[in-house]
Amino acid sequence: MQGEFQETIKIKGLLKNYPRGLNITEISNALHMHRNTCAKYLDMLRLKGDVDRKQSGTAKNYFLVQRMPLSALIRFTKDPAIILNSRKEISMVTAAALSLFKCPLDVMYGEKIHDLPYQLFKENIIEDCSHKAIHGTASVLERETYILGKRYCLRLHFIPVIFDSGKDGCAVLISDDTENTENKENLNICRKQYEAITSDQTEFIVHTDVENTILFINDAYCRYLGRSFERLCGLRFIPLFQSDERERVQDLLSSLNSENPSGTIDVKSIRKDGGMGFEHWTFRAIFKENNDIAGYHAVGRNITDLKKSEDQLRQYYDNLERLIQERTKELQEVNKRLLGVISEKEELEEELLFTQFAFDNASDSIILFDESGAVYKSNRTACELLGYSKDEIKSVSVFDINPSVSADGWRIMWAEAIPGRKERTISIHAKKDGKVFDVDVSRTFVRFMGRMYFCSIAREI
């Protein structure tokens, strides 16, 4: 047994040096082996799938080939399989293949592969790959097809096999990559959507792994740092911060866990122009299914202008507070003076009310006339004495009240008017109903607010 094993090793070692193959005579001569013994070992190697044979005229050339025994392939593969013999006829179909194509065995068994009622097998390349596999050359094809209206993405493996009888064949293993392909397509769509979103963002977006190595960085942050995507990807993220801020950022990342997955921090930065800047960052931990951290998602923005505005606003607020205090103090002083004025005004109003009360309730008739002779003001006694109401007496004139006064005499009286000079005389007054009665009249001219008035104080005789 050990001798047979050694002889087969020698034959395989010899054939490695002759890819095109050797016939039995050449092999036996090279190994100094009997021809019949050499043929026996070659048949053994063919059954194992280590050696293949090709007819070349009357001679048969043997060469090394990776041909798998069919029984072993069927036992260990779970993929749907269609087995072709050397005539490219289907000699075996696994249950998984029948389930995939949703057909009974009699639809496939004994048929040529290109005669199957499926568009997948109508391409010429399928028959070519089958032919090559039967002759010892494996290949792989990826095809998209429809089976009963459903879309499938399939990977076809054409594997050279050898039957237990020693005959050559081809196994077509079919891997269903539909779900994987759809996931890749969906992932690609999501990636493009994410790139479309991040490319238009003005905020900074950075993805890092658990070691804080940059995996992704958006255009906004690249422009802010003045570096390209290629230069930044692969660098560690924390060293991009100022040295006195790195420990704070690291402490924040260390504090993130499944119960507290995110945190924010404001850090100082040096701008490209050398000035002091400020950035606001939000870090969110990305977790695996076992709650271990897989990486970090960081979103930041430049808040330098905001900080400056806050400082200015704080300064304006302090100035406003100081101004308000000054103005409040001034208003308090003004209010104090105003209260004094109001108090004085109230006293004057009280005096005025008292004067008005005394004027209205005087026992004598008091009437003030203007230069035209119209009644400017009259007291209650005058209205009662003459029979007019408060409103009616305003529409009468001195000539209606004192019929003895003529227009010429009135003008002469005003021409000789001297404020403060009083005179007393006996005259007449006419009531509203036309009744005339004698009165004792005290007459004088008074000046008020730059205007002259004639004051008549009369008492019925």
What's the chain's average pLDDT? 86
**Which helix (H) or strand (E) segment is 183 a member of?**
helix 178-199
In sequence order, which ranges of 107-255 are alpha helices (DSSP H)? Answer: 124-134, 178-199, 219-225, 229-232, 243-254
Q: How far is the C-alpha of 161 from the C-alpha of 144, rounded, in Å?
A: 26
State the SS3 of 60-89.
EEEEECCCEEHHHHHHHCCCCEEEEECCCE
201-302: CATH topology: Beta-Lactamase (3.30.450)
362-460: CATH topology: Beta-Lactamase (3.30.450)
pLDDT of 408 > 90? The answer is no
Q: Cβ(91)–Cβ(85) under 8 Å?
A: yes
pLDDT tens string 346-371: 888 888 788 778 787 888 888 888 98
Q: How far is the C-alpha of 227 from the C-alpha of 215, rounded, in Å?
A: 15
Q: Cβ(178)–Cβ(171) under 8 Å?
A: no
The residue count of the chain comes to 461
Q: How far is the C-alpha of 423 from the C-alpha of 417, rounded, in Å?
A: 12
According to the model, what pLDDT value does residue 266 have? 92
Which has the minimum average pLDDT: 20-24, 136-140, 323-327?
20-24
pLDDT tens string 48-91: 767 777 776 677 777 776 678 888 888 888 899 999 998 889 99
**Two domains, one topology: 2-64 and 68-181:** no
According to the model, what pLDDT value does residue 295 have? 92
pLDDT tens string 141-197: 999 999 888 899 999 999 988 888 778 889 999 998 888 888 888 888 888 887 777
Band of residue 134 on the pLDDT scale cut at 50, 70, 90: confident
**DSSP symbol at 163:** -
Q: Is 449 left (phi over 0), alpha (psi -120 to 50) or beta?
A: left
According to the model, what pLDDT value does residue 43 have? 81
User: Span 68-181: which CATH code?
Assistant: 3.30.450.20
According to the model, what pLDDT value does residue 1 have? 47
Q: Where are the domains of the chain?
A: 2-64, 68-181, 201-302, 303-360, 362-460
**DSSP symbol at 105:** G
According to the model, what pLDDT value does residue 193 have? 82
Strands 150-162 and 139-147, by their bridges, are antiparallel
Q: Does domain 2-64 have CATH number 1.10.10.10?
A: yes
Q: pTM here?
A: 0.46
Span 37-57, average pLDDT = 76
Determine how many CB atoms are found less than 10 A away from the CB of residue 127: 15
pLDDT of 38 > 70? The answer is yes
Span 295-302, average pLDDT = 92
Which has the minimum average pLDDT: 12-21, 224-233, 246-255, 437-446?
12-21
